[in-house]
Amino acid sequence: MADSSKSQYLDEIYFFNLIKFNGTFSVQVVKNKK
């Protein structure tokens, strides 16, 4: 049980970092277009 919850926790961190990275990347692209 602990292993499955731990992997789920890591997946959520990875997913959050992926969204945060994509968000900052999109902002940089918009700034470069201006």
Give the separation between CA 12 and CA 3, rounded to whole angstroms: 14
- At 33 the pLDDT is 74
At 26, the amino acid letter reads S
Give 10-residue mean pLDDT values along the chain (34 residues): 80 86 74 74
Q: 């731990």: which residue's tokens?
A: 6
Q: What share of the chain is helix, strand, coil (3-state, %, to 5)?
A: 95, 0, 5
- At 2 the pLDDT is 63
Residue 26 DSSP label: H
Record the pTM: 0.42
Q: 């992926």: which residue's tokens?
A: 18
Range of the domain at 9: 1-33
Closest CA to 31 of 3, 10, 23: 23
Q: How many domains does the chain have?
A: 1
